[in-house]
Amino acid sequence: MFMFIMVALLWLMSSILFFRNPQNEKIRWASVIGFCGGFGGIGALLGQGIHRPEWVLHLDGIFTSIGHYFTPYGMLIFGIVYSDAIGNVRKRNILKVLLLIPIFIMYLMFQVYPEFKVDFRILAIWVVPYVIVANILLIYAAWREDRPIIKRRKILTCVFVVPMFTFALTTNIILEALGIVGVWHYNPWIIVIQFLVFVYFGVKYGILGVRIRFEKEMRDSTMKAARSGTALFNHTIKNEIAKIDLLVNQIKEQMPPEERSAENLGLVLNSTNHVLELSRRIQSKIDAINLKESEFSLRESIDSAINLLKPYLNMHPDITIIKQYEVDAIVFGDTEQLQETYLNIIKNASEAMNGQGVILIKVYKTRKKIHIDFIDEGKGIEKDELTHVLDPFYSTKHNQTNFGLGLTYCYNVLKKHGGDILVKSKVKKGTTFTLTLPSKRIIEFRVNEQFNSKLIGENNLWTK
């Protein structure tokens, strides 16, 4: 019974991971580990001895060998992929094939039918290094990560995965090789605990991107509903305001200009024009974005956006913008839409700092992706608001002139480019918006050695 529960929970965790984001190679390999481990559990459920039906003997041999051979293989490949230890895809694929060699040798040396038999001392020769290296790679990936929000996620992944790998290695392989048999019968209890940990961290923080995926799906669903509702709302407003506008114009034309009522009608027309303009603005922010794509320098795109802000900065001399461009890239995308995104985020940052403080803009790369950080020293965002700041019509400013669409627009722009926005914040410490553009958008990387500078208030002085 407990073994059945173990298999069910392993496959449930693997299914949750896989179907949340099947395009992600890291997620796929994490799922492979769970599915292979579950096959080993099915082998145990099928019993022992050669006096079982033929089809049971065949299934037992296949499932048990998959559990013993392919689970540690999946652990090592997951560690390699997760840590990006080998960036070259071709080399990584060659390594995946080479690492299968011990498995082929095991199938040649030991029988699978009519009963799975293996010398655990020989099995441990390659399985122990596979799992240990996998653990080291996972820990190394968390240790070398510089971005705090990603680092925390990788640490949580290590907390969840490394003990599970180590316990499975100890009970299934090492103790069996030492002649201490049967300890693996306690594995179901550990799997139950691991599943509870998976649910807790998956819901609260996110493991292997699961929580982020949930939030994106909820936000995308909200976006679709908002687009649909806004389109219907705007359509109704435009029709009715257009009628009012037409009727008021007709009345105004028929009235003598010297009558006071004409002035009041003019005010009505101003109001209708304002509502129509507001309707167009809302629709433009939340509607589907059509990219006008071209090649451009990311550094020049950011600089152009900052130049557009110079009049605003002149009015706020206590705002300092510091640029740290570790790298430049030639990007294929919509520079105008991205510039509007930068402007939205910088303005939000300056408002959060009440017009005084430092905004740091960092551009850097990890592997083939490029990231842009906008870091402010503002009041920060409350934890319960943080996951909603990109949602349509949600605003932390709580005033009637803000409609909560600026960051929604930014999210739409990055999503249309195949990128992403991450937000991290601490109250009274500041907020960081990280924009990420994927490798498919990067045409060429260029190392920047001379473009670290700052813009100080109304003086418009660039210092290097």
Locate 65 and state its tokens: 């060998």
Domain count, the chain: 3
Q: Let me know whether 304 and 231 are in one domain.
A: no
Check residue 206 and report its DSSP letter.
-
Select from 364, 346, 344, 373 the least CA-distant residue to 442. 364
Q: Let me know whether 121 and 160 are in one domain.
A: yes
Res 287 pLDDT > 70: no
Q: Let me know whether 298 and 275 are in one domain.
A: no
Q: Among residues 158, 186, 208, which one ends one of the domains?
A: 208
Q: What is the CATH number of the domain that holds 308?
A: 3.30.565.10
Q: Which residues pair with 40 in a beta bridge?
A: none
Q: Let me know whether 41 and 170 are in one domain.
A: yes
Burial class (CB in 10 A: 0-12, 13-18, 19+), 25: middle
Q: Let me know whether 21 and 166 are in one domain.
A: yes
Q: Which residues pair with 366 in a beta bridge?
A: 369
Higher pLDDT: 462 or 321? It is 321
Res 149 pLDDT > 70: no
Q: Let me know whether 33 and 176 are in one domain.
A: yes
Q: Using one digit for the tens of pLDDT, what is the confidence trace for 332-364? A: 998 888 988 898 888 888 888 887 889 999 999
Structure pTM?
0.50
> From the CA atom positions of the chain, what is the Rg in Å?
30
Q: Among residues 231, 256, 286, which one ends one of the domains?
A: 286
Strand order in the sheet with 357-366: 420-426, 430-437, 369-375, 357-366, 319-325, 453-456, 461-463
Q: Let me know whether 156 and 201 are in one domain.
A: yes
Q: Let me know whether 379 and 443 are in one domain.
A: yes
Q: Let me know whether 240 and 179 are in one domain.
A: no
Domain that holds residue 94: 2-208
Q: Using one digit for the tens of pLDDT, what is the confidence trace for 196-231? A: 665 555 555 555 544 444 445 555 555 554 554 455
Chain position carrying tokens 């089809």: 55
Spell out the residues 6+ positions from residue 250 whose beta carbon is closer than 8 angstroms to its own: none
pLDDT of residue 129: 96
Q: Answer yes or no: are the C-beta atoms of 374 and 346 closer than 8 Å.
A: yes
Q: Let me know whether 203 and 255 are in one domain.
A: no
Locate 221 and state its tokens: 């669903």
Q: What is the mean pLDDT of the chain?
A: 76
Q: Let me know whether 239 and 368 are in one domain.
A: no
Select from 307, 302, 305 the least CA-distant residue to 325. 302
Q: Distance from first CA to last CA of the chain, Å, rounded?
A: 69
Res 31 pLDDT > 80: yes
Q: Let me know whether 167 and 300 are in one domain.
A: no
Q: Answer yes or no: are the C-beta atoms of 323 and 452 closer than 8 Å.
A: yes
Q: Among residues 254, 286, 318, which one ends one of the domains?
A: 286
Q: Answer yes or no: are the C-beta atoms of 272 and 241 closer than 8 Å.
A: yes
CA 396 to CA 394: how far, in whole Å?
Answer: 7
